[in-house]
Amino acid sequence: MSPRARVLIADDDAPIRSLIEYHVRQAGFETVAVADGGQAIAAASGDLALALVDLRMPVADGMQVLAHFREKHPDVPVVMVSAHAEIREALAAVRAGAFEYVRKPFEIDELLAVITAADRHAASLRDNRRLRESHSAGVSTVLSLAGTSPAVQRLRESIQRVAPLRTNVLITGESGVGKGLVARLLHASSPWSRFPMISVSCPAIPRELVESELFGHEKGAFPSAQNRRIGRIELAEGGTLFLDEVGDLPLSMQPRLLEVLQERRFQRVGGAESIQSNTRVVASTHLNLREKVAAHEFREDLYYRLNVIPIHVPPLRERLEDLPRLCEVILGRIAAERMIPVFQVSDVVLAALRTYSWPGNIRELENVLERAAAYCDGGRIQLRDLPQEILRPTPAPAMAESAPARPAVGGMPLEELERLAILQTLQLCRGNKAATARMLGVTEKTIYNKMSRYGIRRPQETGSAPVPSLDPADPVDPSVVAA
């Protein structure tokens, strides 16, 4: 519930108005109660959490009040209250943009359940508006899109092309790359960004509750269904439903989701009413869904319905040239939160960060920089502030045995020194020739030529060496001998 959220109650029946006002206040809301449609229009405000509006009122009826809210305050959900004989008109109000309708006489628990769902819906609309405003102001260079690498440029172009389309999207990528951020940017850049984006974490929902969470349920649908519940698909009407890690969706639930994608209709659990769905589905996964289809763990027809337009978010190790910009964005946020000057990062720290493979991707980079910022002195991050797993990555078992010894360099021919420098830098960079070239200050083509000249044909089998301490402010490890 929104803290101290205000609810407008418009009903010309004084006893019913007082009853609703009492229970809404008991639920923790503030109330504004009026007796006719004209007063409801005068009291309308974008600061309201929602409006409860009787369908039949003097001065202006409920449909006129609804039309005013849709035009002036579209982010405020309107719940229509109607008598049984007015159900046809109540359904017309829902089609015109009302969030839901409640029949008179109503159960208080049912009314409060609808109010809670509407309040959640309004909170989602407010979040979307803030995201949209920051995006239009150029502030939302979301972390996963910071940088200028070719991979990120391709990702930006994909988002720009796909955002205006109503087509379903499947976002793939490793854990921690920012798939959720890409989904939010897709929604914020779309023509229907004023409608809600509802996120569903498929692994986080207990299997026995998945159906109710997605589709909602009617009162009495099962023993614990004491009230009607609006599902996530219905809450996302007109906007975006984000299915995070859809590969974990139970196989038993996949046919019902497929029906929504194909027929654009669904029913609440225990309900007979067929509800129209006008929602774009954006799904994400770190799993290989083709392999799950082959293993009969994911429906092939659902896979193709979701994977209409694929967007792949690259891992951090494939965009290491973006590290300086990513560090700038992350450390700028940390400094702003702590209200201190921006942190400084030396080139040698950046070089060390480039040698790491980042299995946790951007999420891991954020954690590393948060830790380094907590331990650094004077706002300057040094090598000693980085975790040991970054400074001394553990070699793979197959690589450890083949790690060459570090001989003394005095009297060694220059060509052998060059060969040794390339070999050990390749070890440090885990065979990444682009990173090796950057650390040695040469082009990648030079590294290829030197490898061919010195017979270094299998860099992937080289061991992993400790990162030498190159920062004058760092203590020198006597066991490290620079080649």
CATH number, domain containing residue 94: 3.40.50.2300
Q: Give me the number of domains the chain comprises.
A: 4
CATH number, domain containing residue 334: 1.10.8.60
Write out pLDDT tens, residues 56-105: 999 999 999 999 998 888 888 999 888 766 777 878 888 888 888 888 88
Selected residue with higher pLDDT from 120 and 37: 37
Write out pLDDT tens, residues 336-350: 888 888 888 888 888
285 - beta bridge partners?
172
Query: Is there a contact between 308 and 254 (Cβ–Cβ < 8 Å)?
Result: no
In a domain, 354, yes or no: yes
Q: Give this prediction's pTM.
A: 0.59
- What is the pLDDT at residue 441? 80
Query: Is there a contact between 117 and 100 (Cβ–Cβ < 8 Å)?
Result: yes
Contacts within 8 Å (CB) and 24+ apart, 427-433? 427/403, 427/462, 427/463, 427/464, 427/465, 428/355, 428/464, 428/465, 428/467, 429/354, 429/355, 430/355, 430/357, 430/393, 430/464, 431/459, 431/460, 431/462, 432/317, 432/320, 433/459
Query: Is there a contact between 228 and 113 (Cβ–Cβ < 8 Å)?
Result: yes
Poorest-confidence range of 24-28, 230-234, 390-394?
A: 390-394
Q: What is the dihedral of CA 21, 23, 26, 28, to 10 degrees?
A: -70
> Phi first, then psi: what are they for 100, rounded to 5°?
-165, 170
- What is the pLDDT at residue 107? 80
How many CB atoms are closer than 10 A to CB 364? 18
In a domain, 469, yes or no: no
- What is the pLDDT at residue 289? 95
Query: Is there a contact between 330 and 381 (Cβ–Cβ < 8 Å)?
Result: no
The reply to whether 339 and 423 lie within a common domain is: no
In a domain, 467, yes or no: no
One-letter amino acid identity for 116?
T
Domain boundary among 288, 313, 338: 313
- What is the pLDDT at residue 28? 83
The reply to whether 236 and 160 lie within a common domain is: yes
How many CB atoms are closer than 10 A to CB 337? 9
Contacts of 445 (CB under 8 A, 6+ apart): none
In a domain, 478, yes or no: no
The reply to whether 73 and 153 lie within a common domain is: no
How many CB atoms are closer than 10 A to CB 305? 18
* Helix (H) or strand (E) segment spanning residue 234: helix 232-235
CATH number, domain containing residue 306: 3.40.50.300
> Phi first, then psi: what are they for 59, rounded to 5°?
70, -60
Res. 193 pLDDT band, cuts 50 70 90: confident
The reply to whether 422 and 355 lie within a common domain is: no
Any idea what DSSP says for residue 167? S
Contacts of 97 (CB under 8 A, 6+ apart): 66, 70, 74, 78
How many CB atoms are closer than 10 A to CB 162? 19
* Helix (H) or strand (E) segment spanning residue 447: helix 444-453
Res. 445 pLDDT band, cuts 50 70 90: confident
Domain boundary among 364, 391, 418: 391
Write out pLDDT tens, residues 258-284: 999 999 999 999 988 888 888 999 999
CATH number, domain containing residue 454: 1.10.10
Q: Where does residue 353 rank: exposed (0-12), middle (13-18), buried (19+ CB within 10 A)?
A: buried
Mean pLDDT to the nearest integer, 367-386: 89
Q: Is it the case that residue 403 has pLDDT exceeding 60?
A: no
Query: Is there a contact between 319 and 362 (Cβ–Cβ < 8 Å)?
Result: no
Q: Is it the case that residue 473 has pLDDT exceeding 80?
A: no
Domain boundary among 355, 375, 391: 391
The reply to whether 373 and 407 lie within a common domain is: no
The reply to whether 75 and 210 lie within a common domain is: no
The reply to whether 322 and 251 lie within a common domain is: no
Res. 36 pLDDT band, cuts 50 70 90: very high
The reply to whether 209 and 90 lie within a common domain is: no
Write out pLDDT tens, residues 412-437: 567 777 887 888 788 777 778 887 88
In a domain, 305, yes or no: yes
Closest by alpha carbon to 257, among 233, 286, 292, 290? 233
Q: Is it the case that residue 478 has pLDDT exceeding 50?
A: no
In a domain, 137, yes or no: no
Vertex 128, ends 122 and 133: CA angle to 5°? Answer: 125
Query: Is there a contact between 368 and 386 (Cβ–Cβ < 8 Å)?
Result: yes
**pLDDT mean across residues, the chain:** 81
Q: Write out the residue range of the structural domain in which residue 277 sits.
A: 145-313
In a domain, 415, yes or no: yes
The reply to whether 234 and 176 lie within a common domain is: yes
Closest by alpha carbon to 466, among 433, 440, 427? 427
The reply to whether 426 and 455 lie within a common domain is: yes
The token pair at 163 is: 């955002």
312 - beta bridge partners?
172
The reply to whether 34 and 162 lie within a common domain is: no
In a domain, 203, yes or no: yes
The reply to whether 182 and 242 lie within a common domain is: yes
